Structure 1
């Protein structure tokens, strides 16, 4: 039965198949994004805007370590999808076993290093002055749970590679709901402040890990690695590393971006300006969930059919994914352009007992965040092409173009822009850099993808 489910990736019509894969992925990402969004709203209303800035400082470090698991997951899942398409079950099992071993080894090492250099990393990412202490509390507790998050990110991509999007969705929903419930208990009822927010997040990681562990032990999964599969194999590690490096490089550049933007904005407007960026950052994670869902649904379809030599289906999956993702991205764009003030207001509290600093920060955020949000999301309708294009090369095992396209937006374009434009236009230069980088990266991706589509036409002829 499980094998039949994975074979659906190569037989069902692309449109309905993409919807079947993308809807659960979108729901899972939606719930996870809502978790981050509502978590930030709770923190802003029950603790204060400085706490929002503190969490924004911590995210790059914890996300980078978690991204190690995602990188190993996506790199290995590309191999698994193609192996299942080529009916090479043994290679799929060996790859999954190597993913498990590598994720545990690498993330635990990084957590130890992250704790050792804690007092240096937090200020480097913008955790200065009033932001430092709450950021340190949150950072320390969350880092304990990050290895479990990394295993979850790795396992979730493998579940999708098996063609089980519903279970992948459930794995994302469980920790999100758990985190929100525990937020209410730890922050609102028990009044644990930043410590409560951190423990709620860490407990959510453990809940997610518990479900994924159950899935791979259950009859739902066709991948049951043996102890011998956990032993590293050079060829698999090399291919997995090359493909996974794309994801890791993207997250590394994202962490560098947070470091730069947090520090640039702190120098321009202090903690209040960092709070503006924190809110926009949450919206970047939340608002584009359907686009990311289509991208996640597209990956196993492209990988399986490429491995099976069905190049016409690969080409059709690219066109269909770009079309679907562009439609939803345009809808998101309209909402963000029309309602930015209402969105920003959700994160801010009108409580009379807020400190003078928090009240001043709230007023600053209300005034500046809506216009900043419009600039950041100005290019949203065209980003689908860039995301799907980069994802395609990763799905079919072409590491170099996948790496170049993944790094193009933030690495090649955004970082230079954000270093230059604020010198002339202040904070507006920071916000404009986001949309300009989107436009430039989309142009480059379109150029690469055009040549690749011509190759697929020749192969399918």
Structure 2
């Protein structure tokens, strides 16, 4: 009996709080690293190039979220299937999902690089680039696009590493790449006077380093063995990866769509305000990336619980599923309160980190922070809940949860409100969308938690 306990997968036996710490912290750090790539570039570009450089990184930001969307689609999709199959003791099928996911990451990464390179200028104009900002955005994106295949593969593989029970390795891979980027940014931008090209080059070199570290692990899985036959795209594997990765992917796609629309709205209505077009573009881009730091904690928690919930749901340990979700939700809410306090109390101090500007620049950024981010305190509910439904195999609900804030509520509001309120309408759209999304998530979550309690009571009878 002791041997059985010893050999049991800790995902099904270890205390839920310990598992949350073990898996969520590396996920948080991985997400922070992704945010750090953008923020470090933004800081050094702001200090070395100015407002037009900051605005350019905001214009190119939809491409970063597109990379994240693809990597989460394939990474979380394959990792969730791996977790569910391991929980059901189907190790060979788990290996097939891992191999299929890696193949898809390679194909999608190369396709995005080719698409971006061919349609670069019209794409950047569509994203909202003004005549002053376009040259900076072109210079930056031409080089950054080279790193797309490495970024997608590395982020996707990190989810497989996590599902294999090695969160620390996943964290180290992402962290080393970020350190490389942070060291090279000032050298390339200031010492070698390479400007936007330097920031882009530092970014892709960091991504390549992280990719190489993650690739090494693919030959050293603990719970599965990847053979040559695993690296095939089978129809059933492909469909299930897409189904269970769609929730996280659509959340990022929704962010991309909203960012593109918002850039155009800010540029249009900013031109007829005292701020002009470029100040709103630069400020909104900075605030979006600062918010990424907070969301890295929340999304990291939501991703960290995926292997725990997926394994226990597959093993029919419903009480552990419920406890893990509620613990993750409480932790995300606590962190949301801290972020709310920072955004409300220190907006000017935060914006100063990204370079100096006029008094109008600071006025807009302070108002944007305080109004648009007012309901940050409840922003942990939606991502944790969306990934909860995805982890138990209810992908349709997970997709719906992912789309609530961005597509169902925020997107229509940032188009409608400015018609009546000018550029201020964008700011007030944010908190209203946050409240509406939290209410919708709450309704579905209560119903699902009752179902888990019912299933658990049936097992104990």
Answer whether TM exceeds 0.5 for this pair.
yes
Question: Among residues 287, 292, 301, which one is paired with 1:285 in the alignment?
Answer: 292
Name the CA distance, whole Å, in 2 between partners of 1:268 and 1:440. Answer: 25
Name the CA distance, whole Å, in 2 between partners of 1:78 and 1:6. Answer: 19
Deviation at 1:345, TM superposition (A): 1.0
Match of 1:355 in 2: none
Name the CA distance, whole Å, in 1 between partners of 2:8 and 2:180. Answer: 30
Task: Spell out, residue by residue over 1:27-54, the C-alpha distance to the aligned partner (whole angstroms, 9 max, x if none).
Answer: 3333443443232111100111110110
Deviation at 1:6, TM superposition (A): 8.5
3-state secondary structure, aligned to 1:222: coil
CA separation of 1:251/1:33 partners in 2, compared to 1, >3 Å: closer, same or farther? Answer: closer
Deviation at 1:62, TM superposition (A): 3.7
Task: Spell out, residue by residue over 1:70-114, the C-alpha distance to the aligned partner (whole angstroms, 9 max, x if none).
Answer: 211111111011111111110110001100111111221222122
Q: How do residues 150-229 of structure 1 correspond to structure 2 at under 5 angstroms? A: 150-218=152-220, 221-229=222-230
Name the CA distance, whole Å, in 2 between partners of 1:327 and 1:213. Answer: 35
Name the CA distance, whole Å, in 2 between partners of 1:371 and 1:331. Answer: 19
3-state secondary structure, aligned to 2:374: coil
CA separation of 1:106/1:27 partners in 2, compared to 1, >3 Å: closer, same or farther? Answer: closer
CA separation of 1:392/1:320 partners in 2, compared to 1, >3 Å: closer, same or farther? Answer: same
Contact (CA 8 Å) 1:216, 1:223: kept in 2 or not?
no
**Mapped pair 1:320 → 2:322:** no
Q: How do residues 60-459 of structure 1 correspond to structure 2 at under 5 angstroms? A: 60-218=62-220, 221-269=222-270, 270-349=277-356, 362-459=358-455
**TM-score, normalisation: structure 1:** 0.93
Deviation at 1:4, TM superposition (A): 7.4
Name the CA distance, whole Å, in 1 between partners of 2:31 and 2:148. Answer: 18
Name the CA distance, whole Å, in 2 between partners of 1:221 and 1:132. Answer: 47
Name the CA distance, whole Å, in 1 between partners of 2:195 and 2:8. Answer: 45
Deviation at 1:167, TM superposition (A): 1.2
**Mapped pair 1:58 → 2:60:** yes
Name the CA distance, whole Å, in 1 between partners of 2:223 and 2:33. Answer: 27
Match of 1:46 in 2: 48
Name the CA distance, whole Å, in 2 between partners of 1:445 and 1:36. Answer: 29
Q: Which moved more, 1:58-67 or 1:321-330?
A: 58-67
CA separation of 1:31/1:115 partners in 2, compared to 1, >3 Å: closer, same or farther? Answer: closer
3-state secondary structure, aligned to 1:127: coil
Name the CA distance, whole Å, in 2 between partners of 1:223 and 1:392. Answer: 24
Contact (CA 8 Å) 1:302, 1:314: kept in 2 or not?
yes
Name the CA distance, whole Å, in 1 between partners of 2:344 and 2:379. Answer: 16
Contact (CA 8 Å) 1:6, 1:162: kept in 2 or not?
no
Task: Spell out, residue by residue over 1:201-235, the C-alpha distance to the aligned partner (whole angstroms, 9 max, x if none).
Answer: 111110110110122224x6434321111111111
Which structure 1 residue ranges, 4+ long, deviate > 4 Å from structure 2? 3-6
Name the CA distance, whole Å, in 1 between partners of 2:194 and 2:138. Answer: 15
Name the CA distance, whole Å, in 2 between partners of 1:33 and 1:66. Answer: 11
Name the CA distance, whole Å, in 1 between partners of 2:302 and 2:242. Answer: 21
CA separation of 1:396/1:6 partners in 2, compared to 1, >3 Å: closer, same or farther? Answer: farther
Deviation at 1:386, TM superposition (A): 1.6
Q: Which moved more, 1:155-164 or 1:407-416?
A: 155-164
CA separation of 1:118/1:32 partners in 2, compared to 1, >3 Å: closer, same or farther? Answer: closer
Deviation at 1:5, TM superposition (A): 9.2
**TM-score, normalisation: structure 2:** 0.93
- What is the RMSD computed on CA atoms of the aligned residues? 1.8
Q: Which moved more, 1:439-448 or 1:111-120?
A: 111-120
Task: Spell out, residue by residue over 1:369-396, the C-alpha distance to the aligned partner (whole angstroms, 9 max, x if none).
Answer: 0110112221111122222111101111
Q: Which moved more, 1:136-145 or 1:17-26?
A: 17-26
Name the CA distance, whole Å, in 1 between partners of 2:229 and 2:12. Answer: 30
Contact (CA 8 Å) 1:6, 1:84: kept in 2 or not?
no
CA separation of 1:6/1:241 partners in 2, compared to 1, >3 Å: closer, same or farther? Answer: farther
Q: How many residues align?
A: 448
Deviation at 1:24, TM superposition (A): 2.5
Deviation at 1:254, TM superposition (A): 1.5
